[in-house]
Amino acid sequence: MNLYKNLNKSTQKLLVTIGVIVVLYIVMSVMESTGNLSSLMKGLLVPVCAYSLVAVGLNLCVGYLGELSLGHAGFMCVGAFSSAFFSRVFQETIPDVPRFILALVIGTAMAALFGFLIAIPVLRLRGDYLAIVTLAFGEIIKNVINVMYIGKDSKGVHFSIKDQLSLGMDIDGKMLINGPQGITGTPRQSTFTIAVLLLILALVVTHNFVNSRTGRAVKAIRDNQIAAETVGLPVTKYKLVAFTISAAIAGLGGVLYAHNINSLTATTNNFGYNMSIMILVYVVLGGIGNFSGSVIAAVVLTMLPELLRGLSTYRMLIYSIVLIVLMLFNWAPAILKWRDDHGLTTAAILGKFKKKEVQ
């Protein structure tokens, strides 16, 4: 207990978050093994972690770099397709475990590379340019993947942006990326355990980053760019570092997502504009600059529409009402004041917990 108290506030919060995630993980695992989990919920376990990861990545960009990105689903898409492609190509040649580790590395690295390349010209500008460019990037990536045809046969790898026939493959050839049908037959290696471990890893990495020398510089640039320059901070360099890490984490989420489904396609709903906005909603609702909040919002808002499926057409209506109510509960000044008066702020609730622990 003393050891815990010696840590600073943000580290304490990180440990609490990890603790909650571990408890949830154990509960879910027990429910799964005893057969108490519906197949619907079971199917959601890994995607929830994947969305949480992307939300954590976006929060680094929005909350700490202070730049709006409307294309994080695009980085998720890059991570998903590059890793799924890799896994398909080497499905027979590399054993499962090292191949999946490599897929994680490749998906993350590719998303980081794309983030880096986009950020070089854009982050030199001030204003909303990043939002505009990332918005376009997300759409472009999705559309490019939809016209890509890559196949492999005994003669080698064939590539076309027209259709499957123009590849001119032998009969024994197999399709790796089949245009709008995407990648099928990716090995389903993303287990709930791996997903939770990666989520915890991302939370630790982002927490350590924002509390390091580089992270302080990034926050300084967000708070006041001119002042940051006058104390000698290389502004563009640190913006690039932060954005690249943000894109990499989104890519990691993409890898998890891709290795959890049989057929990976790039549609508006999973990697398009809708998804980018969904993830931004998780970040804003969970609290800008609050990584744990992003995870909570991602979990609740992903589960909610699925749990309400029984209500058929009304579910999106209820979903939007819940969204508005939560937003008001978190941000409206009058409600914040009411929560303050009745001891319902996060700080007050956490304080009660601590007192109980001491007793």
Partner 1 sequence: MSLLEVTNLGISFGGLRAVDEFNLSIEQGELYGLIGPNGAGKTTVFNMLTGIYKPTDGMIYLDGKNVTGKKTADINKAGVARTFQNIRLFGDQSVLDNVKIGLHNSFEYGTATGIFRLPKYFATEKEMDKKALEILSVFGLDSSADILASNLPYGKQRELEIARALATNPKLLLLDEPAAGMNPNETRDLMNTIALIRKEFGVTILLIEHDMKLVSGICEKLTVLNFGRVLAQGKTSDVLNDPEVIKAYLGE
Q: At its nearest, how many Å lie between partner 1 and the CB of residue 323?
A: 27
Q: At its nearest, how many Å lie between partner 1 and the CB of residue 103?
A: 22
**Segment near partner 1 (CB under 8 A); pick from 82-90, 216-224, 279-287, 319-327:** 216-224
Structure token pair of residue 333: 């000044």
Contact criterion met (CB below 8 Å) for 254 and 77:
yes
Q: How far is CA 78 from the centre of its chain?
A: 12
Report the amino acid identity of residue 216: R
Nearer to partner 1, 228 or 298 (CB): 228
- Which of 166, 224, 262, 320 forms a contact with partner 1 (CB under 8 A)? 224
| Site residues (CB under 8 A) for partner 1, limited to 237-296 | 241
Residues near 183 by beta carbon (within 8 Å), at least 6 away in sequence: 81, 84, 85, 88, 176, 177, 258, 263, 264
| Site residues (CB under 8 A) for partner 1, limited to 227-246 | 227-235, 241
**Segment near partner 1 (CB under 8 A); pick from 39-47, 87-95, 188-196, 218-226:** 218-226
CA-wise closest residue to 293 among 87, 121, 52? 52
Contact criterion met (CB below 8 Å) for 282 and 301:
yes
Nearer to partner 1, 96 or 229 (CB): 229
Please give the Cα distance from 357 to 223 (Å, whole number).
37
Please give the Cα distance from 70 to 275 (Å, whole number).
9
- Which of 15, 223, 314, 344 forms a contact with partner 1 (CB under 8 A)? 223
Q: At its nearest, how many Å lie between partner 1 and the CB of residue 198?
A: 15
Q: At its nearest, how many Å lie between partner 1 and the CB of residue 330?
A: 18
Q: At its nearest, how many Å lie between partner 1 and the CB of residue 241?
A: 6
Nearer to partner 1, 224 or 267 (CB): 224
Structure token pair of residue 303: 């589960």
Nearer to partner 1, 183 or 228 (CB): 228
Question: If binding means CB under 8 A, how many residues of this protein chain bind partner 1?
Answer: 25
Q: In DSSP terms, which residues pair with 71 in a beta bridge?
A: none
**Segment near partner 1 (CB under 8 A); pick from 47-55, 73-81, 122-130, 223-231:** 223-231
Structure token pair of residue 10: 């943000």
Dihedral angle, C-alpha 196, 201, 202, 206, nearest 10 ° = 150
Q: At its nearest, how many Å lie between partner 1 and the CB of residue 223?
A: 4
Nearer to partner 1, 100 or 238 (CB): 238
Nearer to partner 1, 71 or 286 (CB): 286
Q: At its nearest, how many Å lie between partner 1 and the CB of residue 149?
A: 39
Nearer to partner 1, 36 or 208 (CB): 208
| Site residues (CB under 8 A) for partner 1, limited to 175-214 | 205, 208-209, 211-214
Q: At its nearest, how many Å lie between partner 1 and the CB of residue 248?
A: 11
Nearer to partner 1, 231 or 358 (CB): 231
* 124 contacts partner 1 (rule: CB under 8 A): no
Q: At its nearest, how many Å lie between partner 1 and the CB of residue 293?
A: 16
- Which of 217, 278, 285, 297 forms a contact with partner 1 (CB under 8 A)? 217
Binding residues (CB under 8 A) for partner 1: these are: 205, 208-209, 211-217, 219-220, 223-224, 226-235, 241
